[in-house]
Chains A and B, each alone.
Chain A
Amino acid sequence: MSQTITEMELLRDKIRLKTLKELHHLGFGHYGGSLSIVETLAVLYGGVMKIDRANPKWEERDYFILSKGHGGPAYYAALAMKGFFAEEVLYTLNQNGTSLPSHPDRNLTPGVDMTTGSLGQGISVAVGVALSHKLSGKSNSTYCIVGDGELNEGQCWEAFQFAAHHKLNHLSVLVDDNKKQLDGLTKDIIDPIDFAEKFNAFGFYTLKVDGSSIPEIYDAIKLGKSQIEKPVAIILDTIKGQGVPYLETKADNHHIRPNAKDEAAILEAIAELERSMERRITG
């Protein structure tokens, strides 16, 4: 297990580094909400999900849907690091004719299970995938990351009612509770009050973890496997811009077009991650 944790932590650093590099290469983008899901992606792709990079459409795979589609850059970094496509492709993010658009497109990118970006829709599709497997008597797991801001959308709560009613125990909803949405703090725009209480009330087996802790996320997902009737909700206590102290404290960090100061901080974060990875490899 500690071996797995170490591998997931290495993957985490790779995903964070490549996310920063692809966004920096592009020159602008959704830094905040990409960085806050890095640990969760590292756990899913590094230690949990049954996938086959040589056969992305393998029927026995676990499914992942990034309902908060604007986290695409981190998703792509995870897929590239797992070998679904070459790392160089990351630097085509959002370029004309790219296979990596801002928001994921299942028809463009190997390994992307569903097209998302119109908030609230991915979770319904994840519920449909989980229902489909249940109807067929199959045990594929479905993982879906939703944003805390995304939970403003009523459709999410329709999907949660449906998931609980149909006892979709192989569905895990991972809530990226990074406390911010595009225009500011979620508590100032639509106060979530208490996500855990809400999910409990909706009939989910609900856990709350430190969303920057690989072991905590990993344990929560494993714990969720014990469920035989309830869908699982894991509230991830995260920070928008997670893992890059400068970006964590930057107020307006949903979409960043870096100024000179931002630029210097991002480059320093990239350098630091590269040094840290070198230390891991040599040490």
Chain B
Amino acid sequence: MIESAAAFYEVEEVEMRQAYASTLLELAKQNPNIIALEADLMSSISTNKIQGQIPGQLINCGIMEANMMGVAAGLALTGKIPFLHTFAQFATRRAFDQLFVSGGYARLNLKILGSDSGVTAEHNGGTHMAFEDMGLVRLIPNAVVYEASDSTMLSYLLRKISSEYGVHYIRTMRKAAVKIYNSGETFEEGKGKILREGGDVTIIASGIMVAEALKAADILRNHGVRATVADMYSIKPIDEELIIKLARKTGAVVTAENHNVIGGLGSAVAEVLSEHCPTPLRRIGVREQFGQVGKTEYLKEVYNLAAKNIAEAVRELKPY
């Protein structure tokens, strides 16, 4: 458990996009082989602000995600380290075969940031709202999938993957996240983090749902239910050992993700549990629905992603 975990759900001063741009700048200055690619969304992710400082290392590919994926593969083929950014659904749904074949199947080194994930796409609505991206990338052999829950984690993961080989996909929101970690925190591939410990139920969450899970744990505590909350930021590989350990300890698991319950965190946890440690499970996430316009808080209500929904799911497993 992290003693330093912030307890009051404050929104960070640094937006996720600022964390991306500043970390990218730092990495690109250190390593001339790092080349950032954008598909006409530089001002959305704030890389326009660093463009002048790393000329030749930040290329706006225009609105051509399929080609951007191939250009990245070509850069990787010649020893460069491409960092691609676009909205999550363009990085995955739109250019999936390119990512799969030119990236994954060709065993090339691509670093991909999918922003505006799930409901955080807000007013761009259903066309831009990816509830499927983690599921898609999870299907690519050896691809690593992360969902960043705050700016400390995002910056850490970007630095980490910059020196690792393979297809790495980081899913994030664009604006300010709820602060979860203090600076100096470290994150490993294939590991989750316990943010709160309790013996009655385990809530496993990622991304914006980590804060909801913590809030749900507060609700539950008022009802005398003690919840363990884990941030499962490494969606693939996933921390099987931790999932099994927590399932055995609490006997009940609820997952919470800003994503379709098919393919993402809920699926990944269900796969581990059903193979190794069958345990009563409820999955909070989007079910058989497309996206729509709205503010994040409103959309959390619409898709049953709020803390109260997590607490209700716990009630089904552990009546209180």
Binding site for B on A (CB under 8 A): 59, 63, 106-107, 113-115, 117-118, 120-133, 135-136, 154-155, 158-159, 161-162, 165
Contact = CB atoms under 8 A, between A and B. Distances in A.
A161 B64 contact: yes
A127 B59 contact: no
B69 A124 contact: yes
Given A118-B101, A161-B62, A161-B64, A127 B106 contact: no
B71 A127 contact: yes
A125 B73 contact: yes
Contacts of B56: 135
B189 to A, nearest CB: 23
A114 B72 CA distance: 13
A123 B69 CA distance: 11
A184 B12 CA distance: 59
Given A107-B107, A115-B105, A155-B98, A131 B75 contact: yes
A214 B98 CA distance: 34
A125 B80 CA distance: 13
Given A128-B78, A129-B78, A132-B80, 19 more contacts: A106-B106, A107-B106, A107-B107, A115-B105, A118-B98, A124-B70, A124-B71, A125-B71, A126-B74, A127-B67, A128-B76, A128-B77, A132-B77, A135-B80, A155-B64, A158-B64, A159-B70, A159-B71, A162-B62
Contacts of B48: none
A125 B105 CA distance: 14
Interface string B56-98: 1001011010110111111111111000000000000000011
A107 B97 CA distance: 18
A111 to B, nearest CB: 14
A140 B35 CA distance: 19
Counting from the closest, the 3 A-B pairs by CB-CB distance are: A128-B74, A124-B70, A158-B67
* B: contact size bracket: 20 to 34
Contacts of A129: 74-75, 77-78
A100 to B, nearest CB: 16
B98 A121 contact: yes
6 contacts: A121-B70, A124-B69, A124-B102, A125-B70, A132-B78, A159-B71
A118 B69 CA distance: 13
A106 B106 CA distance: 7
Contacts of B73: 114, 121, 124-125, 128
A87 B295 CA distance: 64
The residue in B56, B59, B66 that gathers the most chain A C-beta atoms within 10 A of its C-beta is B66
A128 B75 contact: yes
Contacts of A124: 66-67, 69-71, 73-74, 98, 102
Interface in B94-145: 97-98, 101-102, 105-107
Contact of B67 (A63, A117, A132, A159): A159
Contacts of A133: 78
A128 B62 contact: no
A126 B70 CA distance: 8
Contacts of B106: 106-107, 114-115
A171 B66 CA distance: 19
Given A127-B67, A155-B66, A159-B67, A115 B74 contact: no
B104 to A, nearest CB: 10
The residue in B67, B71, B75, B98 that gathers the most chain A C-beta atoms within 10 A of its C-beta is B67
The residue in A121, A122, A154, A161 that gathers the most chain B C-beta atoms within 10 A of its C-beta is A121
